[in-house]
Each structure stands twice: as structure tokens, then as C-alpha cells.
Amino acid sequence: MLSVTRLFSIPALALVVLAAAPAPAAADLTAFLGVSPSPDTHMAKGAAIGVGLVIIGFEFEYSKLGEDAERAVPSLTTGSGNLLVQTPVPINGWQFYATLGGGLYRERLEDLQETHVATNLGGGAKYTVAGPFRLRFDYRIFSLLGSPVQSKVHRFYAGANIAF
């Protein structure tokens, strides 16, 4: 015959094991198009890959803004690693996040070129369309160190995102 202690210890042990197990990591991939109004409107394109651990996430992003020499708008290529703080679950299909990161940039305008360190700060949201498919909306402010033509660059993008 099972004792009362043994009867309750098995489910209690199972609950402890489940509670102690780490939450599964979720990864995602984003391809995006956007615009930057700094110093004048020009197009952005890029991609990001990330992993989320419930509230904290990490991503690597590559982005390129095109050059327009006639309007004195430099191109900007960035590669950055970012930390995201996000809502743990979507709210009515929306998962909001704030991000902070840093990396390298290369700015070019005709014969001028600057390669240096950049930081970024921003936020956005991912909207679940169906299953793993989401839309992503993001706004960032990049601070370019060194001697760039444009030291602050704003960027807004919309992209297709798939979670896996």
C-alpha cells in the first residue's frame, strides 16, 4: 500500500522538475525594407536573425542605406548586435520590444568614407499573421562615432518575419 507521503511526493517532484526546466529558446529571421529621413529620405534594406528567451532576446542585424550623391546623402552600412527586452507573449497578436545595441558602420559619400563604431536604440513590434509568420515594424536611432557626414541616423522599417 502507498503511503500518503509517497503519494504526494511523486507529483511534487514532477512539478519541481517542470518548473526548473529552462524555457525553450525561440529564434526568428526578418527581411526588411525601410526608410531613413536622415539627412534626407532614402531607402534601407537588410536582415536580422535573433533568439528570444521569454523576456530577453538577442539579435544580429545587417542593414544598408543607399547613397544619393546629388542630394549629398551618404550610404550607410551597419552590422550590429542587439539586446531586446520584449513582452513574454503576444498581446492581441502584437509582441512589443525595446532594443539597445552596437556594432560597426561604414558611411560613404562619393570619395569620403568613414568606418567606425555605432550604437543604436529603438523599439518595435512583431504582429502574428498566421502560425510562424509575422510582420515586424521597427524604429532605430543610430549614433555614429568618429567623423561621419551624418552622426545621428533615424531608420524605420517594415519586414517579413518567420519564427522557428
- With helix as H, strand as E and coil as C, how does the chain read? CCCHHHHHHHHHHHHHHHHHCCCCCEEEEEEEEEEECCCCCEEEEEEEEEEEECCEEEEEEEEEECCEHHHCECEEEEEEEEEEEECCCCECCEEEEEEEEEEEEEEEECCEEEEEEEEEEEEEEEEEEECCEEEEEEEEEEEECCCCCCCEEEEEEEEEEEEC
Residue 16 has pLDDT above 80, yes or no: no
Residue 93 has pLDDT above 70, yes or no: yes
The pLDDT value recorded for residue 1 is: 55
The mean pLDDT of 7-19, rounded to a whole number, is: 60
CB environment 73-91: b (16+ within 10 A), e (fewer): bbbbebebebebebeeeee
25 vs 45: which has the higher pLDDT: 45
Tell me: domain 23-163, CATH 1.10.10.10, correct? no
| pLDDT band at residue 140 using 50, 70 and 90 as cut-offs | very high
The pLDDT value recorded for residue 12 is: 63
Residue 159 has pLDDT above 70, yes or no: yes
Nearest residue to 103 via CA among 51, 156, 140? 140
The pLDDT value recorded for residue 22 is: 57
Q: Hey, where are the domains in the chain?
A: 23-163
**Percent above pLDDT 90 for the chain:** 82
In residues, how long is the chain?
164
| pLDDT band at residue 2 using 50, 70 and 90 as cut-offs | low
Mean pLDDT over the full length of the chain: 91
Residue 130 has pLDDT above 60, yes or no: yes
